[in-house]
Amino acid sequence: MSDRELDRQLVERAQRGDKHAFELLVSKYQRKLLRLLSRFIRDAGEVEDVAQEAFIKAYRALPTFRGDSAFYTWLYRIGINTAKSHPVATGRRAPTLTAYDAEEAELFDDGEQLRDINTPESILMSKEIAATVNSAMDCLPEELRAAISLREIEGLSYEEIAAIMNCPIGTVRSRIFRAREVIAEKLRPILDKRKELRW
């Protein structure tokens, strides 16, 4: 049974009044929703409040859920809309995941340098790249930041992002492209400096 089918069964049970079924959905998606919301709200306590509010809204709206989209797509849309309307949503935090797995080092052109990621140079470079990406993400308009976060951090497909953001797939592709362009432009001086240091 696929995840979507399992979710559909849990939703149907919850719609018939089975509170345990909804609790299972909350358990399944709570961490993912918290991670998504943390891209929009800086304070961890506020993130939890918004997530809780989103789950409450989802529970109340459950009778109207028809299953046209996956449950988590519907839930993420509720979460993003709740975050947008939350008064503390003005503080933003971008992802800080920049460390490379040593096994993945073989896939990179600079694999030799990545194998030992604990060198002072690589640690400094990772921090500089993370700070630059964070800064670039903070400067992005909300719709670009949401699209790139859903794609690169949550790993969602273009179709899922289009459903969450309630826009055409072409718009999603355009927003992700524009967000990547902004981030790449900010990273270019750092990466150029790194190339110069290697010679």
Kindly list the structural domains of the chain, giving each domain's residue range(s) and its CATH number in brackets, ordered by start. Answer: 3-85 (1.10.1740.10), 102-198 (1.10.10.10)
pLDDT, the chain, mean: 78
Give me the residue label for tokens 């273009």: 158
Confidence of residue 86 (pLDDT cuts 50, 70, 90): confident
CA geometry: angle 111, 123, 181, nearest 5 deg: 70
Q: What is the pLDDT of residue 29?
A: 92
The answer to whether 152 touches 160, Cβ cutoff 8 Å, is: no
Instruction: Give Dmax (Cα) for the chain.
Output: 67
Q: Is the pLDDT of residue 177 over 80?
A: yes
Coil, strand or helix: which one is 156?
coil
Cα–Cα distance, 129 to 110 (Å, whole number): 16
Q: Where are the alpha helices (DSSP H) in the chain?
A: 3-15, 19-37, 44-61, 71-85, 111-115, 120-139, 142-148, 158-165, 169-198
Share of the chain above pLDDT 90, in %: 21
Q: Is the pLDDT of residue 95 over 80?
A: no
111-148 residue pLDDT tens: 444 444 455 665 676 777 778 888 888 888 989 998 98
Residues ≥6 apart with Cβ < 8 Å to 124: none
Q: Is the pLDDT of residue 13 over 90?
A: yes
